[in-house]
Amino acid sequence: MIAVALALAATAPDKIDLRPTADIVIASVAAVGVLVPEVFKNQIAPTNCRICDGPDNSGLPGTGSEGSLNGVDAWFHDATTGWLMSRGTAAVASDVVAFGLIPVGAAVGAFTTTGPHASADAGWRAAAVIGESGIVAMALVQGAKFVVARKRPFVRYGTGETSGTYNVNDPDSHLSLPSGHTAIAASLGFSLATTATIQESSAAPWLWAAAGAGTFISATLRMIAEKHYFTDVVAGAAVGTACGVVIPVLHKRGGPLSSDAVSAAAQGPAVSLSGRF
C-alpha cells in the first residue's frame, strides 16, 4: 500500500504528505521486526517465562497459583475470563475484530474521510500513513514480547490443557505482554482519527470514538479469551495509541516525514538544496 501511494502524487498540496525514502525505510525495518520473530518463533522464543507471577516457570498446566500476581490483574482475570462467551470463541472473535474488521474499516476510512482540503490521491497517502502506524506498532510489540516473556493467563492458571482450548507448550504461551491485538486495533483506529483530524475532516470526532470502542472491544475479548491480563492490554493500547498519533503527526505537511521537509530549487546554472533535519 505504501508503494502504491509513493507511486502517485506524494507532494500534492494537502494536509498529509509522505517522505518516500524515509517511509520506505521505516516500513521495511518495521516489517522485518514483525516477520522475523514470527517466522523464527520456535527458535527464539524463551523456553521459560521471565515474568511468571508465582513459582511456576515451567509452563506446565495445573501449577499456577495466586503467587505474586497483582490485585488488578487478578481481579480482571476472574471477572472477564469466559464472560459472555467461551475462551475459544473470544479468541476467534478477537482475531476477526483486530485483524479483519478494524483493518478493513481503517482502509475504507482512509479514502472516505480525507477532508475538504484533500487533493488527488489523498486517500492513498492517508492509507499509507495508517498502514505505517500499524506496522510500527506491531514491530514494537513483537520486540517487547520476546524481551519481557510474560506467561499468559491460561498457562499460569493451568486452564490451557484442562479446557482443551490452548497448548501450553506452544512458544507463544510466554509472549503475553503487551497485547498485539490491542496494539493493532489502537494503532489503526487512532491513526485514522488523527489523520482525519489533521485533514480537518468532519468525521474526525466519530473516528476518535470508533477508535476507542475498537480498542476496548479488542482488549476485552483478549481478556475473555484468557490470552492476556489487564496490564497486557493496557500496554498494547498505549503502544498502539502512541503510534497512531505520532506517525500521522510526523506526516503533517511540513513535518519531518513530509516530502517538503527537503526541497531542491534551480537557481540559474546552480542548484540549491535546503531542508530541515
Q: What domains sit in the chain, N to C, each tagged with a CATH number?
A: 2-261 (1.20.144)
Which pLDDT band holds residue 69 (cuts at 50, 70, 90)? confident
- Percent of the chain beyond pLDDT 70? 82
Q: Across residues 11-32, what is the average pLDDT?
A: 87
User: Considering Cα of 173, then 177, then 182, then 186, what sign does the dihedral take?
Assistant: negative
Task: Provide the angle, in degrees to the nearest 10, between the axes of the packed helices 122-148 and 230-250.
Answer: 140
pLDDT digits (tens, 9 = 90+) for 79-111: 999 999 999 999 999 999 999 999 999 999 999
pLDDT at 253: 86
Which pLDDT band, with edges at 50, 70 and 90, does 237 fall under? very high
| Whole-number Å distance between alpha carbons of 191 and 205 | 13
3: how many CB neighbours lie within 10 A of its CB? 11
Query: Minimal CA–CA distance to 143: which of 172, 169, 177, 187?
Result: 177
pLDDT one-digit tens code per residue, 167-181? 878 888 889 999 999
| Pick from 144, 217, 152: nearest CA to 186 | 217
Helix (H, G, I), strand (E, B) or coil at 62: coil
CA 173 from centroid of its chain's CA atoms:
20
Q: What is the pTM of this model?
A: 0.86
Tell me the pLDDT band of 60, cut-offs 50, 70 and 90: low
pLDDT digits (tens, 9 = 90+) for 112-151: 999 888 788 899 999 999 999 999 999 999 999 999 999 8
Q: Identify the CA nearest to 231 among candidates 92, 74, 66.
A: 74
Q: What is the pLDDT at residue 93?
A: 97
